[in-house]
Amino acid sequence: MRKLSNFINYFFTGVGFGAATYLIILTFASPSVPTRLGVISVFIISGLIGILSMIFAMDVPPAIAFSVHIIGTFLLVLLMSWINKWPINFCLIGVFILVYIIIWLIVILSQVRIVKEINSSIKKRNAKK
Sign of the Cα torsion 84, 86, 90, 94 reads negative
The pLDDT of residue 129 is: 67
pTM of the model: 0.85
Report yes or no: 77 and 57 within 8 Å, Cβ to Cβ.
no
Digits of tens for pLDDT over the chain (129 positions)?
Answer: 778 888 899 999 999 999 999 998 888 877 778 889 999 999 999 999 999 999 999 999 999 999 999 999 999 999 999 999 988 999 999 999 999 999 999 999 999 999 999 999 998 888 876
Q: Which of 19, 61, 9 shows the shortest CA–CA distance to 40?
A: 19
End-to-end CA separation in angstroms for the chain: 36
Given a contact cutoff of 8 angstroms between Cβ atoms, the answer to whether 26 and 32 are in contact is yes
Residue-level pLDDT at 17: 93
Per-residue pLDDT at 32 = 75
